[in-house]
A and B are shown apart, each in its own frame.
Chain A
Amino acid sequence: MTCENVQASLPFLLYGELSFDEEEQLEQHLDGCAPCRQALEATRVLHAAFDRSAEPLPAPLLLECRRELRLRVREDAGERRGLNWWRKLAGLMQPAFLTPVWSRSLGALAMLVLGFAGARLTSPAPSRTAPTFDTVPVSGTRVRFVEPTENNGLVKITVEETRERQVTGKLDDARIRQLLLSAAQDPADPGLRVETIGLLQRETETAEVRQALIAAMQSDENAGVRMKALQGLKRYAAHPEVRSALAAVLLHDGNPGIRTQAIDLLVQHKQRDVVGALQQLMEREDNDYIRQRTQRLLSDLNASVDSF
């Protein structure tokens, strides 16, 4: 292997894109060739510089994109459903045997029938009990079942509708709070959960909100949501229930950033209720900062570092 070949392969060595044999040959060459080792070091520096060519995503961009996509998918689905509906209707009205003259006559007849049907559907009919629909097609509508009825040749259609509507209200309004508490558990959208927890932070006086934050902090699968919930509980770091949850986070959360925040909150109030958990933590924690803080807190509480 020549030095030229080796140096051309160095980027692929760093990317792990060489075969086992190629890598072996290259390593052998590098062992005995100082200029190529220098070239490898230079390629490492170059790759480190490449790392800087990436721009971090602007924070709200992903959430905005998701929101817009959700709306556009619904619109798109609605439009396509509408198009299919009209295409089917057009297909029915144009069988192959019809001449243009017949088509025109039947078209006129169909317009008449549709006119009558439309008038029946849109005119006020207070005595009728069965629900009707106001527009066809409705964006986000899905037909689930169709069945003929025995009377008047009517057709019964079961429609599943998803409608968006905006609700505005203050956080102390129980209905608003219920909606937020439900959004805070939406499994499909961690972005929505982060935003919701951020809003709920302002209403932590309410026990059910605190419970929701504690639940999110302890069990949400997304670290961003857990962190947001933990920040929302800062004011309650002296509260026994919150302290017990923080201790559980310290013992079980896999994210060292979250554990760091948890220990920082616990040390603010030197209470002995979490001594057992802290002693357990000392047996398993491998993060130096968290260990130091825990050790210090145990020492301040005159508790042993070991759990015996």
Chain B
Amino acid sequence: MDEAGLIRAAQAGDEQAFEQLVHSYDQSVLRLAYNLLRSQEDARDIYQEAFLRVHRNLHAFRFDCSFHTWLYRIVTNLCLDHLRKRKVRKEESSIVETAEGPRDRISTIPESGATGDPERHMLSSELRTRLNRGMEQLTPRERTVFEMRHHQGMRLRAIGEILGTSEEAAKNCLFRATQKMRAALGEFV
């Protein structure tokens, strides 16, 4: 069954069709939420809330835009709200307590292939720390656009449509994000 067929079946109450629809998108939705929020719990909450909203409101989906755009509008709105609240609360979940003291969450992830070479491992760890700092300097919108373009491979036009803005505005946002990240990496690249 094609996507439109699955949507219509799910609108008619077919739970299996709904599940198939979810499974076509949920991995990339979860990856986006996890990359943006850097927390399993928050990513899990976004996943549940987004797909429950889809389930509750699917009857109102009229094919005015693609299902992908509709779904990602829900997901990005939830993520942006979450990131904005986090900024207000001044919570920086990327800092975690470890046996060696507070560290950037991203730098605690083991780097495959680099463990055998201490110098490379150190460079890799420093790079990750700087990347993480760069990400924290991005506004929620810049961060979202950057993630969607760089890691999810979405076109700027689609990103603009999802975020309710123009392709040009998304492009400017991505440009600012890239500049900030470049500055954060400094002489490292």
Task: Tell me, yes or no, whether A binds B.
Answer: yes
Contact between chains at B48 and A69 (CB < 8 Å): yes
Contact of B181 among A50, A77, A190 (CB under 8 A): A50
Segment touching B, from A60-68, A83-91, A202-210: A60-68
B40: CB under 8 A from chain A?
Answer: yes
For residue B157, which residue of chain A has the nearest CB? A17
- Contact segment of B49-57, B63-71, B81-89, B95-103: B49-57
Query: B27 touching A62 by the CB < 8 A rule?
Result: yes
In the complex, chain B residues 106-138 whose Cβ is within 8 Å of any chain A Cβ: 106, 109, 124, 127-128, 131-132, 134-135
A73 and B18 contact, CB distance less than 8 A: yes
Contact (A65, B48) CB under 8 Å given A49-B188, A53-B135: yes
Please indicate the chain A residues that have their CB under 8 angstroms from the CB of B61 in the complex: none
- B166 at interface, CB cutoff 8 A: no
Q: Is A169 part of the contact surface with B, judged by Cβ < 8 Å?
A: no
Once the chains are docked, how many angstroms separate the CA of A69 from the CA of B48? 6
Q: Is the CB of A73 within 8 A of B55?
A: yes
When chains A and B are docked, how far (Å) is the Cα of A47 from the Cα of B189?
A: 10
Q: How far is the CB of A48 from the nearest CB of chain B, in Å? A: 8
In the complex, the answer to whether A55 meets B38 with C-beta atoms within 8 Å is yes
B156 touches A (CB below 8 Å): yes
Question: Of residues 13 to 47 in B, which have CB atoms within 8 Å of A's CB atoms?
Answer: 13, 15-16, 18-20, 22-23, 26-27, 30-31, 34-35, 38, 40, 43-44, 47
Minimum CB–CB distance from B1 to chain A (whole Å) comes to 11
User: Is B11's CB within 8 Å of the partner chain A?
Assistant: no
Residue of A nearest to B134 (CB): A53
B170 nearest in chain A by CB position: A17
Nearest A-chain residue to B150, judged by Cβ: A50
Q: Are B189 and A54 in contact (CB under 8 A)?
A: no
Partner of B51, one of A69, A142, A189: A69
Say if the beta carbon of B182 comes within 8 Å of chain A: yes
Number of A-B contacts (CB under 8 A): 107
Q: Give the docked Cα–Cα distance between A58 and B151 (Å).
A: 16
Contact between B16 and A188 (Cβ–Cβ < 8 Å)? yes
Q: Are A65 and B44 neighbours in the complex by a CB distance under 8 Å?
A: yes
Q: Evaluate contact between B189 and A45: CB separation under 8 angstroms.
A: yes
Q: Do A57 and B178 touch (CB < 8 A)?
A: no
| Given A53-B132, A62-B26, A142-B13: A76 and B127 interface contact (C-beta under 8 Å) | no
Within residues 124 to 158 of chain A, which ones have a CB less than 8 A from any CB in chain B?
Answer: 142
- Whether A189 pairs with B52 at a CB distance below 8 angstroms is no
Which of A8-16, A177-185, A239-247, A268-276 is near enough to bind chain B? A8-16
Contact A12 B171 (CB under 8 A): yes
- Is the CB–CB distance between B189 and A46 below 8 Å? yes
Judging by beta carbons under 8 Å apart, are A76 and B174 in contact? no
- Add 15 more A-B contacts to A57-B34, A61-B30, A70-B19 (CB < 8 A): A11-B178, A15-B156, A15-B174, A53-B128, A53-B131, A53-B150, A61-B43, A65-B44, A69-B47, A69-B52, A73-B18, A73-B51, A74-B15, A76-B52, A189-B23
Name B's A-contacting residues (CB within 8 A).
Answer: 13, 15-16, 18-20, 22-23, 26-27, 30-31, 34-35, 38, 40, 43-44, 47-48, 51-52, 55-56, 106, 109, 124, 127-128, 131-132, 134-135, 149-151, 155-156, 171, 174-175, 178, 181-182, 185, 188-189
A-B contact pairs, 12 of them (CB 8 A): A11-B174, A42-B189, A54-B31, A54-B151, A55-B34, A65-B48, A66-B23, A72-B48, A76-B55, A76-B56, A188-B20, A189-B19
Q: Which 3 A-B pairs have the closest CB atoms?
A: A53-B131, A65-B47, A46-B189
Residues in A lying within 8 Å of B, measured CB to CB: 8, 11-12, 15, 17, 42, 45-47, 49-55, 57-58, 61-62, 64-66, 68-70, 72-74, 76-77, 80, 142, 162, 188-190
